Chain A
Amino acid sequence: AQSVTQLDSHVSVSEGTPVLLRCNYSSSYSPSLFWYVQHPNKGLQLLLKYTSAATLVKGINGFEAEFKKSETSFHLTKPSAHMSDAAEYFCVVTRTGGGNKLTFGTGTQLKVEL
């Protein structure tokens, strides 16, 4: 069994300040973890993924996430927010090496203010 908890449903930051979106996971198996982003009226876009290689994962648009097994966390960060980062972000878990079913968190809405 696996599950994901996104700790904040809404996050608001000022442009140019750091972004932190928090995600905790639970998995009976060795997990692979992803962050997806959805901009309004767009599909879900893959930001980054962890698949049991390096624990610090770099993604597109300056985002990165760190897999911490001891804390069962996979928080998403970005040093400096841009207006175009405003979107909904999803933390996702699946089983490494087998099975293709993704388990999504409930999403975090990121608002970026001037």
Chain B
Amino acid sequence: EAGVTQFPSHSVIEKGQTVTLRCDPISGHDNLYWYRRVMGKEIKFLLHFVKESKQDESGMPNNRFLAERTGGTYSTLKVQPAELEDSGVYFCASSQGLTVYYGYTFGSGTRLTVV
């Protein structure tokens, strides 16, 4: 089966610009998650979709971040306007069911650099 696909793999943008990251989960996986790793720090949870609904968005840093999952398939994460501290690697993951039994399948990540 195809894995979790993220694109772009790299993005370099200027402060104040807008960037949209995309994640295509494994077909049939209702659960989709976004995580982020800022340089030198641990990977942190951003939010969780179940189908098209936001189940938990407690990790979203501020209202410059907007995540969508229209139709319950792929998801986008938009950063507008981007700030320097948004630089990092953004991971997407999907899961069939509860993490503890199924685990996540992660994508390769999008490396975002804001200059």
User: Interface of A with B (CB < 8 Å)?
Assistant: 32, 34, 36, 41-46, 49, 51, 90, 94, 96-97, 100-107
Contact = CB atoms under 8 A, between A and B. Distances in A.
Interface residues of B, number: 29
A51 B109 contact: no
Given A41-B108, A44-B91, A101-B56, A51 B101 contact: yes
B45 interface: yes
The 6 nearest A-B residue pairs measured at CB: A44-B106, A104-B43, A43-B106, A32-B100, A43-B108, A106-B42
B105 to A, nearest CB: 8
Contacts of A94: 99-100
Given A100-B31, A105-B42, A43 B99 contact: no
Contacts of A41: 108
Contacts of B65: none
A104 B99 contact: no
Nearest to B43: A104
A106 B41 contact: yes
